[in-house]
């Protein structure tokens, strides 16, 4: 298609396809497509990507803010638009010089302190005990255990298949198939293996018991399916049952399912697992994402530095220089 006929929406779809081909998370790619479809297409319409100017970008930003879209969401929109235009320039779809987004001042996003929601060990055990003694309740218990002790995302858990459980290696292979936005995104058994997360003996035992109880045990079948049909569970139903379980356990009801992943990460960080290893197990593309857990790492070395400083009076070590400084201030001399 000629550059003067390629719309922003079409360029956005091609950009999403390129990220998908590079292995970007299916959830991320779907988010790109959703923003293009819901926001960019209606605003830019049939306008050629080669004719969009910084003024058009400013108008987009003003309209979205006027419609109540948050500053953070608009800022994310502009970041995606900028990436789309950079991709279009590299591909020769935009011949007009410059990226029109780069000259636009983005809305100020209020800074908020990050509060991680996670469960401590007694709370985690209380959650597991509060699961109902029913078919779906027993399955939920195992799913919560895997989430809290292996750090898998909800979408990864709902898409997890039995072939991803490596019993001998004591690992769970995550991020092969995921269930997001109401549909399964499959990579297939023959695709490159996802990240390997260590499987604690407790997790392995519970998964083995769950395997023996399940009616769906083929390699290609789901580990945590709808127990009646074997099909993927709806995330809304998982959410509702999780909230009810929190209530039965008398735990904070503002904890989200994702808090189980934070539970895994904070406990491992507190246990001294290096951030680089934690990044690998969590599947973070950027170490900066993992660094939100840095405050939970033990810092005995820092404490030892303070202990040594207070073990002897540092002022005594510099007494001569302090005395000399005082004498100079008073006009005296250090000579005998």
CATH number of this structure's domain 3-91:
1.10.150.130
Number of H helices, E strands in the chain: 16, 5
CA gyration radius for the chain?
Answer: 27
Whether 266 and 116 have beta carbons less than 8 Å apart is answered as yes
The domain ranges of the chain are 3-91, 121-270, 301-330
Query: What proportion of the chain, given as a percentage, has pLDDT over 70?
Result: 82
Instruction: Give the count of beta carbons closer than 10 Å to the beta carbon of residue 176.
Output: 21
Closest CA to 233 of 242, 244, 222, 243: 222
Average pLDDT over residues 119-139: 96
- Tell me which of 2-11, 86-95, 182-191 is least confident: 182-191
Q: Computed from CA positions of residues 237, 140, 148, 277, in that sequence, does the dihedral angle turn out positive or negative?
A: negative
Statement: residue 321 has pLDDT above 80? no
Contact (CB, 8 A) for 292 and 116:
yes
For 261-291, the pLDDT digits (tens) are: 999 999 999 998 999 999 999 988 788 889 8
> pLDDT category, 324, cuts 50, 70, 90?
very low
Contact between 179 and 155 under an 8 Å Cβ cutoff? The reply is yes
Which residues face 166 on adjacent strands? 171
113 vs 103: which has the higher pLDDT: 103
Of all residues in the chain, the percent with pLDDT exceeding 90 is 59
- CA distance to 256, 258, 263, 265, per residue, from 117 (Å): 8, 8, 8, 11
- Candidates 124, 158, 140, 261; CA nearest to 210 is 140
Q: What is the pLDDT of residues 164-207, one digit of tens each?
A: 999 999 999 985 555 555 554 554 443 445 689 999 999 999 99
Instruction: Tell me, yes or no, if the two domains 3-91 and 121-270 fold the same way.
Output: no
Whether 310 has a pLDDT exceeding 60, the answer reads yes
Q: Sorting pLDDT into bands at 50, 70 and 90, what band is 163?
A: very high
Find out whether 180 and 30 touch, Cβ atoms under 8 Å.
Answer: yes
* pLDDT tens digits, 229-267: 999 999 899 999 999 999 999 999 889 999 999 999 999
Give the CATH number of domain 121-270; options: 1.25.40.10, 3.40.190.10, 3.40.1390.20, 1.10.443.10.
1.10.443.10
Q: What is the mean pLDDT of residues 83-106?
A: 90
């Amino acid at each position: 298609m000629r550059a003067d006929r390629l719309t922003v929406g079409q360029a956005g779809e091609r950009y999403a396809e390129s990220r998908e081909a590079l292995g970007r998370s299916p959830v991320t790619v779907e988010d790109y497509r959703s923003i293009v479809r819901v926001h960019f297409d209606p605003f830019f319409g049939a306008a050629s990507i080669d004719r969009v100017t910084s003024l058009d970008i400013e108008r987009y930003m003003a309209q979205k803010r006027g419609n109540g879209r948050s500053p953070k969401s608009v800022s994310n929109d502009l970041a995606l638009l900028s990436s789309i235009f950079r991709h279009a320039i590299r591909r020769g779809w935009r011949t007009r010089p410059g990226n029109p987004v780069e000259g636009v001042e983005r809305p100020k996003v209020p800074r908020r302190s990050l509060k991680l929601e996670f469960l401590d060990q007694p709370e985690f055990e209380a959650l597991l005990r509060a699961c109902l003694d029913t078919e779906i309740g027993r399955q939920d218990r195992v799913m919560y255990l895997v989430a809290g002790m292996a750090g898998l995302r909800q979408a990864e858990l709902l898409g997890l298949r039995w072939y991803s459980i490596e019993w001998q290696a004591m690992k769970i292979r995550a991020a092969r198939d995921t269930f997001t936005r109401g549909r399964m995104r499959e990579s297939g058994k023959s695709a490159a293996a996802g990240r390997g997360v260590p499987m604690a003996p407790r997790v392995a035992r519970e998964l083995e018991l769950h395997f023996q109880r399940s009616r769906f045990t083929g390699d290609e079948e789901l580990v945590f399916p709808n127990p009646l049909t074997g099909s993927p569970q709806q995330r809304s139903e998982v959410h509702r049952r999780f909230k009810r379980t929190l209530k039965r356990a008398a735990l904070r009801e503002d904890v989200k399912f994702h808090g189980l992943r934070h539970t895994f990460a904070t406990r491992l960080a507190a246990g001294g697992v290096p951030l680089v290893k934690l990044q690998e197990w969590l599947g973070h593309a950027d170490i900066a994402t993992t660094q939100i857990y840095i405050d939970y790492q033990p810092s005995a070395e820092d404490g030892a530095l303070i202990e040594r400083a207070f073990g002897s009076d540092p002022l005594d070590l510099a007494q001569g220089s302090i005395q000399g400084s005082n004498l100079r201030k008073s006009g005296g001399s250090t000579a005998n």
